[in-house]
Amino acid sequence: MTDQTDLQTDFIGDDIVPQGAGTVEKKRVLIVDDDEDFAASLAGLLELEGYQAIIAHDALSAQDALALHQPAIALVDVRLGVGNGVELVRTFRRQSPDLICLMVTAYASVETAVEALQAGAYDYLCKPFHSADLLATLERCFERTRLMEEKRLVAERLGQMQRIQTMGQLAGGIAHDFNNILAVLLGNLRWLQEHVRTKPEQVQMLEDALAAVKAGTDLTKRLLNFGRQEGGDSVRVDLHAVLPDLMRVLRRTLGDDISLSLELADDLHEIEVHPAQMETSLLNLALNARDAMPDGGTLRFEACNFVVRPDDARVASGLLPGQYVVISVIDTGHGMPVAIRRRALEPLFSTKPAGKGNGLGLTMVDGFVRQSGGRLGISSKPDEGTRINLYLPRASVPTLSGEHVADTANGLDELRVTRVVP
Ligand SMILES: Nc1ncnc2c1ncn2[C@@H]1O[C@H](COP(=O)(O)OP(=O)(O)O)[C@@H](O)[C@H]1O
Ligand SMILES: [Mg+2]
C-alpha cells in the first residue's frame, strides 16, 4: 500500500528541480585587472572558495576570455592600463546581456560608481574590499543568474506547452473534418451492406471496408481527445467504481508477462476529473510501464487519501495545501536516471526509437493533472522501477444545505476525519 515515505520521495513535476543540465555548471568568474598581483591573489581566493577564476589584464584579452569561457560574472577594474573598465562593461553587456558585471574601483567616488551602473554594471566594490564582502556579493550575483536561468527554463517550457496546445488544436480540427468524411463513408457502406445482396467475397470486402472506417473513427477520436485537453466536463468520480474496469482493459493490453494489481483504500474520497482524460492518462502510464519492462514485471495501481499541509515541500511546486487522492502507478521496470527523469514531462521528449514513442504521453498526463488542480510526482531510479503519483484534489464536499464546498485549498479543518497515510 502507498505509504507516506513513498509519497515523500517523489518530486512534483519538474518545478522543484529545474530541467536541463546547464544549471550545475561550475561558477566561473572573469577577473579583468591590469594589476597582475592583485588579479592573481583574487583568483587564488576565488579558487579556494570553489569558483573557477579566469584572468585577463586588458580589454581585448577580456573579450577573448568572455567568448571562450562564458563566465557568469565579470569583476572589472575601472582603470585598465589599456582601455577603460566602464567602456568594457558597456561592450560586455552588449555582447552578452546575461553576464553580470561587477565594477571594482580604487576610487570611492560616486561619479565613477554611477557611471559604472549606467554602463550596465550590476554593482560595484571599492578597493580595498573585505573578502567576505566580495564573496557575499558574488553569491548574490550567482543567485541572480540561477533565478534568471530558472525564468528562462519556465519560459521555454511555456513555449513548448503552447506549441503542443497549437498542435492539439490543429490535430483536433483535422480530426473533426476527417470524422465527417468517415461518417459519410460509414453511412454509405452500411447502406450497401443492408441493401445490396452480392457474392460472399464482396460481402467480406464490405466488412473489411467497414472495419477500416471503424479503425479510422477510433483514430480520430483519439486525435479529438488530444485536441480537447482544455475544458471538457469534469464529473465526480469514485475510483472504486471505475478502476476495476480499467484494470480489465489493461490486462488484455499488457499481456501475460506483466502482473497487474490494484489496491484502493477503503475510505477513498471522490475526485472531480474528466473521466476519459483520466482513463487515457492511466493508459499512457501503463504503456510507459510496459515499455520499461520488456522482460515482464509487475505493475501496481494504488490510490489513497492524502493531506498536503502548508509546510509540505510539494507546496513549493504549486500543490495547494488541502485534501487529495493520490493515484500511484508503480512498475518494476528499468527506471530513469536523473537526467531523463527531469526531462520526462517535456513535450516531445522521448528515449524510445522513432515509431515507438512520441514524447507526448507524460506531457498529456501532466496537463490532465494540472487541469484537474493537482500535480504529478515522479520517483524513479535506474533498475529500481518507477512510481508516478497523481495528486488529484478531493471533490468538493456537500454541506448540510446541499451546496458543494471546494475544499482543496483550505480543507485542512477536515484533517481530523481524513486518514493521513501512515
Ligand atoms: N515508467 C517508466 N519507466 C522508465 N522510463 C519512463 C517511464 N515513463 C516514462 N519514461 C521515460 O520518459 C520518457 C517520456 O515518456 P512519454 O512522455 O510517455 O513519451 P514516450 O513514451 O512516447 O517516450 C520516455 O521515453 C522514457 O524515457
Ligand atoms: Mg509514453
Per-residue model confidence as pLDDT tens digits over 132-178: 999 999 999 999 888 888 788 777 777 777 777 777 777 777 888 88
- In CATH, the number for domain 27-129 is 3.40.50.2300
Ligand closest to 363 (CA) is 1
Which protein residue's CA is at the shortest distance from atom 12 of ligand 1?
Answer: 344
Cβ neighbours of residue 354 closer than 8 Å, sequence gap 6 or more: none
By the 10 Å C-beta count (0-12 exposed, 13-18 middle, 19+ buried), 416 is classed as exposed
Q: What percent of the chain has pLDDT over 70?
A: 85
Task: Scan for cell 514524447, then name that residue.
Answer: 359
User: Is residue 383 packed enough to be buried (19+ CB in 10 Å), middle (13-18) or exposed (0-12)?
Assistant: exposed
> How far apart (Å, rounded) are the C-alpha atoms in residues 389 and 2?
10
Q: Report the distance separating Cα 214 and Cα 281, nearest Å.
A: 23
Residue-wise pLDDT for 223-247, tens only, equals 776 665 544 578 999 999 999 989 9
Q: Which fold has domain 235-415?
A: Heat Shock Protein 90 (3.30.565)
The predicted pLDDT at position 400 comes to 57
User: What is d(CA 96, CA 70) in angstroms, rounded to the nearest whole number?
Assistant: 9
Q: Compute the distance between CA of residue 370 and CA of residue 156 in angstroms, rounded to an integer.
A: 18
**Residue 2 predicted with pLDDT over 50:** no
Going by C-alpha positions, the residue among 308, 335, 330, 280 that lies closest to residue 408 is 308
Half-sphere exposure of 362 (CA within 13 A, CB side): 27
Q: Report how far apart the first and last C-alpha atoms of the chain are (Å, whole number).
A: 10
Pocket test of ligand 1: the residue of 14, 161, 350, 369 to mutate, having most ligand atoms within 8 Å of its CB, is: 350
Alpha-carbon torsion 215, 255, 360, 272, what sign? positive
Q: With bands split at pLDDT 50, 70 and 90, how would you rate the model's confidence at 303?
A: very high
Q: Which three cell numbers stand for residue 232?
A: 471538457
Residues with CB under 6 A from ligand 1: 284, 288-289, 292, 331, 333-336, 340, 344, 349-352, 357-363, 386
Pairing between strand 28-32 and 386-393?
unpaired
Q: Which whole number is the average pLDDT over 207-232?
A: 77
Phi (first) and psi of residue 178, to 5 degrees = -65, -35
| % the chain with pLDDT above 90 | 48
Q: What is the pLDDT of residues 177-203, one digit of tens each?
A: 888 899 899 999 999 988 887 788 888
Which residues 6+ apart lie within 8 Å of 397 measured at CB? Answer: 404, 405, 407, 411, 414
Comparing 25 with 154, which gets the higher pLDDT? 154
pLDDT tens column, 323-345: 999 999 999 999 999 999 989 98
For residue 412, which of 312, 265, 327 has the smallest C-alpha distance? Answer: 312
**pLDDT score recorded for residue 402:** 52
Q: Residue 323 pairs with which residues in a beta bridge?
A: 307
For residue 218, the cross-strand partners are none
Is the pLDDT reported for residue 5 higher than 60?
A: no
Nine-digit cell string for 351 = 528515449
Domain residue spans of the chain? 27-129, 155-226, 235-415
Torsion of CA 4, 10, 11, 13, to 10 degrees: -110
pTM of the model: 0.55
Strand partners, 273: 235
Instruction: Answer yes or no: is pLDDT of 3 > 80.
Output: no
Q: What is the dihedral of CA 27, 28, 33, 36, to 10 degrees?
A: 90
Please tell me the predicted confidence (pLDDT) of residue 10. Answer: 59
SS3 246: helix
Ligand 1 atom with least separation from CA of 284: 18
Q: What is the pLDDT of residues 60-76, one digit of tens each?
A: 999 999 999 999 999 99
Q: Using an 8 Å Cβ cutoff, are 336 and 342 in contact?
A: no
In sequence order, the β-bridge partners of residue 56 are 32
**pLDDT exceeds cutoff 60 at 394:** yes
Kindly indicate the confidence band of residue 20, based on its pLDDT and cuts at 50, 70 and 90.
Answer: very low
Centre of ligand 2 from the C-alpha of residue 257, in Å: 19
Q: What is the mean pLDDT of residues 47-55?
A: 94
